[in-house]
Structure 1
């Protein structure tokens, strides 16, 4: 089976050698209780570090458009980049004094996040959870 948010699910099914008539099930936007918004942005920078920084800055700006209003999920292509991207967004939020938009303004909320973070086995989650960031990469 395939569980992903892809506009080209048929292409992926062909690539995975799935019988489109028997083994492909597509659950479109009408199955979602809350509509999904997707936005694709291209970055043309050739140098890796500049490209990484530009992508993180753009991602931060896009996240800030929704932060404090709605939940935000950012898809990243690799496990290593997932934690790096979350750290970059956190660091930019700290630099711009916008971190409060990721957390409820209550000591109890912060205490819960801190306590949960201490129980985590994954160092990245332990580091990021107190700031209101969770990460997951299935790959």
Structure 2
């Protein structure tokens, strides 16, 4: 079962770009990827002339990871769900963070198997690029 939550502010723009399902987000053409950040699953995409987004995804959540969550007495979550909650906590604490446009999971037996997180790209350099530039 695919579940995708669209932020009400971005619903119309995402419908125009036909990005209203987890399947559509996971099938974004990799040739349209503008930049790739090392160490992340995803990249930057230009979905409209004035809108650049960052797509973060988990293509596969392993059964051992799900079992480890149960052993720790926690309900399993995808990494994208964990990222979404972290971004919301940082925003509530007053940090400048990327705006969340959409998030969702593909679940089997109510357990997360894939996850996506669509963020509006922030202006400026991403942290890995900034650090690489400063250390050189």
Q: Relative contact order (C-alpha < 8 Å, sep 6+): which is higher? A: 2
TM-score by length of 2: 0.28
TM-score by length of 1: 0.28
From the CA coordinates, give the structure whose radius of gyration is larger: 1
